[in-house]
A and B are shown apart, each in its own frame.
Chain A
Amino acid sequence: KAGVTQTPRYLIKTRGQQVTLSCSPISGHRSVSWYQQTPGQGLQFLFEYFSETQRNKGNFPGRFSGRQFSNSRSEMNVSTLELGDSALYLCASSFDSSLPNQPQHFGDGTRLSIL
């Protein structure tokens, strides 16, 4: 069974640009969450999707957005990139995060560098 797949693995952008990251969850999983990992702030929750609907949202500006497709694949978009957006972006999936005993499975992340 394939794990969570994130593409691309590495990305370099400049300030002001926008970027789209992709996440394919484990087959059968319908919940997808996104996290940002930086040395200073650690791991922070961005948002969670379930069946194409945003279920939860973290404390990030509106430049960060996401969506989920009918096949459960998810994308996140960051517009007007800032230097502080340089981070490892992690995606995690579970069958249905509202059910008990549903741990999240993480992908290897997309390393985004802003120049």
Chain B
Amino acid sequence: AQSVTQLGSHVSVSEGALVLLRCNYSSSVPPYLFWYVQYPNQGLQLLLKYTSAATLVKGINGFEAEFKKSETSFHLTKPSAHMSDAAEYFCAVSDLWGGSQGNLIFGKGTKLSVKP
């Protein structure tokens, strides 16, 4: 069975500092991996996705993630945090080989705080 583990339920950084949000996955088949962001009282917005085309994936708002098969990781980074990045971030995995990407398995989420 597939699973996702996000290390750290809360991460706090200063404005302008590096953002690193950790995600490890477990999958018996090549995974499709996603990062979503959720602002208060809103749904999920797709930041970026890994679908085996390239190991370094660039997303919106300056975020990127690197797929490392040997470490089963898909960590999210941003070189310089902005106040507007404060939100909750979710890593998710899906198994297209199971027939559908419509069943996403999410991590527990990481709340990012940005200090001025």
B102 x A94 contact (CB < 8 A): yes
Bound Cα distance A105, B104 (Å): 12
Set B43, B46, B107: member contacting A103, Cβ < 8 A: B46
In chain B, what residue has the closest Cβ to A41?
A: B108
Set B42, B92, B102: member contacting A31, Cβ < 8 A: B102
Quick one: CB contact mask for A19-59 with B, threshold 8 Å, 1 for yes?
Answer: 00000000000010101000000111100101000011010
Min Cβ gap B7→A in Å is: 15
In chain B, what residue has the closest Cβ to A40?
A: B108
B100 x A45 contact (CB < 8 A): no
Contacts of B14 in A (CB 8 A): none
Give chain A's interface secondary structure class. strand
Quick one: CB contact mask for A83-115 with B, threshold 8 Å, 1 for yes?
Answer: 000000010101001101111111111000000
Among A31, A97, A107: residue with most chain B CB under 10 A: A97
Bound Cα distance A111, B106 (Å): 19
Bound Cα distance A102, B102 (Å): 9
Min Cβ gap B74→A in Å is: 15
Bound Cα distance A67, B90 (Å): 27
Set A50, A90, A97, A98: member contacting B43, Cβ < 8 A: A90
Set B32, B45, B106: member contacting A43, Cβ < 8 A: B106
Bound Cα distance A39, B103 (Å): 20
Bound Cα distance A98, B36 (Å): 20
B51 within 8 A of A: yes
Among B45, B101, B107: residue with most chain A CB under 10 A: B101
Q: Which of B19-45 contact A (CB under 8 A)?
A: 32, 34, 36, 41-45
Q: Return 6 A-B CB contacts under 8 Å, by A number.
A: A43-B109, A45-B104, A98-B100, A103-B101, A106-B45, A109-B43
B residues lining the A interface (CB < 8 Å): 32, 34, 36, 41-46, 49, 51, 90, 92, 96, 99-109
